């Protein structure tokens, strides 16, 4: 973790609190505040293990709209977006065409989302992605675009994650109000094909709800054309 006991002691010393219990209490509180591998308001990058289905963006993914370029079986990419508890299952996967490790996966959302981190579980023997790049809110993106345009962020993916707990943080300010995420697998760890069993996205959804206005009393302002009393009064004054 980024928060150390010495750092906590320094913070407490500024306020005159230097007891060991106070240091430990402050440290525990800070760790609870900063759980999760992302750059938070304190300016530090915090790393840790994937915290299960908490803040899982799966409910906000338009699964039917997910598509991939260079997948060997059309539509297979939709099967890798599944509940966190099923991440280690190996029944379904997306695989690139033979002798071409690249994949370009487009992920639309049902509402804008803020993405804090992602998880990728790939195949064995070098089939896991090694170079993963993200693009945000591109309606049309092909391999030529992905090679030419600067990615919003790029990750070096580990060759293996047997327990399914490695999480890759995003540069959070660049992943706000995302309606479409494109993930470009530029290369893998040496296999002729890339295989992915699971992709998990963590963050928050921004749901906009419009509710009907209730219990509103409308007041009509009378005009001479609609107010006979005012017309009568004007006639008497005249």
pLDDT tens string 30-82: 333 333 444 443 444 444 444 455 699 999 999 999 999 999 999 999 999 99
At residue 168, the pLDDT reads 98
At residue 1, the pLDDT reads 44
At residue 224, the pLDDT reads 56
Tell me how crowded residue 44 is: count the other CB atoms within 10 A of its CB.
14
Q: Is 234 left (phi over 0), alpha (psi -120 to 50) or beta?
A: alpha
At residue 99, the pLDDT reads 95
pTM of the model: 0.68
Across the range 186-209, mean pLDDT stands at 92
Task: Say how far apart CA 73 and CA 195 lie, in whole Å.
Answer: 12
Residues in the chain: 238
Contacts of 73 (CB under 8 A, 6+ apart): 94, 95
- Above 60 in pLDDT, residue 236? no
Give the torsion sign (CA, 233, 235, 236, 238).
positive
Write the pLDDT tens digit of every residue in 154-169. 999 999 999 999 999 9
Query: Which of 72, 44, 183 has the alpha carbon at shortest distance from 118?
Result: 183
- Looking at every residue in the chain, the average pLDDT score rounds to 79
Across the range 211-225, mean pLDDT stands at 52
Task: Please answer whether residues 114 and 206 qualify as being in contact, where contact means their C-beta atoms are separated by less than 8 angstroms.
Answer: yes
Contacts of 111 (CB under 8 A, 6+ apart): 60, 179, 205, 206, 207, 208
What are the DSSP E strand ranges found in 125-228? 129-136, 153-156, 168-169, 178-188, 195-205
Contacts of 182 (CB under 8 A, 6+ apart): 104, 105, 106, 107, 134, 135, 136, 138, 141, 146
């Amino acid at each position: 973790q980024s928060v150390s006991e010495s750092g906590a002691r320094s913070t407490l010393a500024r306020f005159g609190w230097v007891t060991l219990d106070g240091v430990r209490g402050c440290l525990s509180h800070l760790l609870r505040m900063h759980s999760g591998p992302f750059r938070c308001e304190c300016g530090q990058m915090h790393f840790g293990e994937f915290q299960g289905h908490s803040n899982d963006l799966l409910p906000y993914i338009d699964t039917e709209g997910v598509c991939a370029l260079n997948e060997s079986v059309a539509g297979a990419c939709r099967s890798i977006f599944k509940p966190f508890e099923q991440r280690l299952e190996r029944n379904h996967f997306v695989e690139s065409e033979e002798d071409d490790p690249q994949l370009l996966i487009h992920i639309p959302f049902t509402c804008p989302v803020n993405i804090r981190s992602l998880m990728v579980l790939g195949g064995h023997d070098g089939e896991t992605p090694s170079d993963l790049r993200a693009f945000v809110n591109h309606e049309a993106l092909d391999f030529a675009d992905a090679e030419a345009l600067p990615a919003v962020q790029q990750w070096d993916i580990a060759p293996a994650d047997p327990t399914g707990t490695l999480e890759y943080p995003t540069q959070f300010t660049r992943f706000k109000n995302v309606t479409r995420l494109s993930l470009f697998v530029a290369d893998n760890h040496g296999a002729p094909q890339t295989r992915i069993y699971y992709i998990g996205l963590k963050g928050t959804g921004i749901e906009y709800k419009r509710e009907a206005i209730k219990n509103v009393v409308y007041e009509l302002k009378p005009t001479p054309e609609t107010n006979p009393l005012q017309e009568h009064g004007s006639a008497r004054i005249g």
